[in-house]
Amino acid sequence: MSDADATRDAGSRDFGSEVHGEPDRWARGSYGFETLAIHAGQDPDPTTGAVVVPIYQTSTYVQSEVGQHRGYEYSRSGNPTRTALETCLAALEGGRTGLAFASGLAAEDCLLRTVARPGAHVVVPDDAYGGTYRLFAQVLKRWGVEHTPVRLGDLDAVRAALRPETVLVWCETPTNPLLGVADIAGLAELAHGTGARLVVDNTFASPYLQRPIELGADVVVHSTTKYLGGHSDVVGGALVAADAGLGEELAYHQNAMGGVPGAFDSWLVLRGAKTLGVRMDRHCSNAQRVVELLQRSPAVAQVLYPGLPEHPGHEVAAKQMRDFGGMVSLRLAGGEQAALELCRRTRVFTLGESLGGVESLIEHPGRMTHASVAGSQLEVPADLVRLSVGIETADDLLDDLEQALA
């Protein structure tokens, strides 16, 4: 056991984004989103004056006497670069505690093993990132955690699925890959009515477009690999807890389970977060242009985008999101072969998994990101193509799709 483990096991209550010194001064003030993204947790380095948070590439820290240190003992338990990121994430989501992880799934696993015990039950979306569903169906089920997939847009169906042993309602909105929308405030009310917590995977919207904690969510999950990192150069995850008590429990498990990011990965996500607002604005406006083009194409049977007035979740999305995001899915009139052909033909949209980076990506969820849910209730249509619309020149994106669909 490291010294840091010993401190925590002895009952230290100093965890998370408030661990290392005063609660962040930026988070206490009334600053706008972009100001927090650039400054929260990121005061100039007290030792050198460096304006950018340094990459503290160290595993351990000097102690002047046994047990006397400057707030850091061992980098699994805490690292100053990671603290800066965690503080910034908590400020951006409006939560009390931010915690960074080595991947989105490591964050999800930490959350689930913190709040669920054998015999617990979780309501999960009937459309979600395939890896999230796999965690429930293939991993946690073996440890006695039950789950029920439900269409979260249907609050009556959610109410019917809740049980006395339900500990979480797990929400993803907009969903990956069908862009379904769930009413976060409505779900929070239902979950809290039975003593369960509401978790929102906010990866697709990012905190710039949607702030689930303000709508009643207890925890926000991110794959920071996506819009927060924003440049397809890092894999990471995050949890932000609305209240300090749950934040402490999660921080305890983050350290006890150990799925933390290194200093450089933390730094990359922090650098990405600084430009989240301006990037998201461009992702959204480019996506809108792409949607208009797709709607005109006879090759496209259906466009799935919450910004469309005919989308069943449009009204809720308009209420709880600042804009409708950069993810667009479409179904091809020519079926699976046409979908695969479209993925083959684009030149600016790169064929690849993941999303949320500055470059536009195209993929076939059925055979790629969601292959693991084939045969389950979450299986996706074979004629579906998902676009992550990047921030390139919009006309180039439109020309590319036009030639690929021709």
Ligand X SMILES: Cc1ncc(COP(=O)(O)O)c(C=O)c1O
Sheet holding 361-363, edge to edge: 300-304, 327-332, 384-388, 361-363, 350-351
Spot the catalytic one: 126, 183, 201, 265. 201
The one catalytic residue among 129, 227, 252, 305? 129
CA 77 to the chain's CA centroid: 22
Query: How do beta strands 384-388 and 327-332 pair?
Result: antiparallel
Phi and psi at residue 60, to the nearest 5°: -140, 175
The answer to whether 5 and 257 have CB atoms below 8 angstroms apart is: no
Half-sphere exposure of 125 (CA within 13 A, CB side): 28
Amino acid at 121: H
Whose Cβ is closer to ligand X: residue 191's or residue 235's? 235
Q: Which is nearer to ligand X, 218 or 265 (CB)?
A: 265
Cβ-based nearer residue to ligand X, 9 or 233 = 233
Compute CA 83 distance to the chain's CA centroid, rounded to the nearest angstrom. Answer: 18
Q: Which of 349, 212, 207, 177 is nearest to 272 (CA)?
A: 207
Do 215 and 95 touch, CB atoms closer than 8 A? no
Closer to ligand X by CB, 73 or 172: give it.
172
Helix or strand run (H / E) with residue 301: strand 300-304
141 in catalytic set: no
- Selected catalytic residue, list 8, 72, 76, 218: 76
CB 123 within 8 A of CB 169: yes
Partnered with residue 197 across adjacent β-strands are 168
Position of minimal CB gap to ligand X: 104
Say whether the peptide bond before residue 174 is cis (omega within 30 degrees of 0): yes
CB atoms within 10 A of CB 65: 6
What is the binding site for ligand X (CB under 6 A)? 103-105, 129, 131-132, 172, 176, 201, 203-204, 223, 225, 235, 237
> Which residue, 18 or 210, has its beta carbon nearer to ligand X?
210
* Residue 226 annotated as catalytic: yes
Nearest to 96 by CA among 245, 266, 274, 292: 245
Angle, vertex CA 222, rays to CA 80 and CA 136, nearest 5 = 120
Quick one: 83 or 206, whose CB is closer to ligand X?
206
Place of tokens 């150069």: 233
Q: Residues 211, 226, 279, 386: which is the catalytic one?
A: 226
Catalytically active residues, by annotation: 76, 129, 201, 226
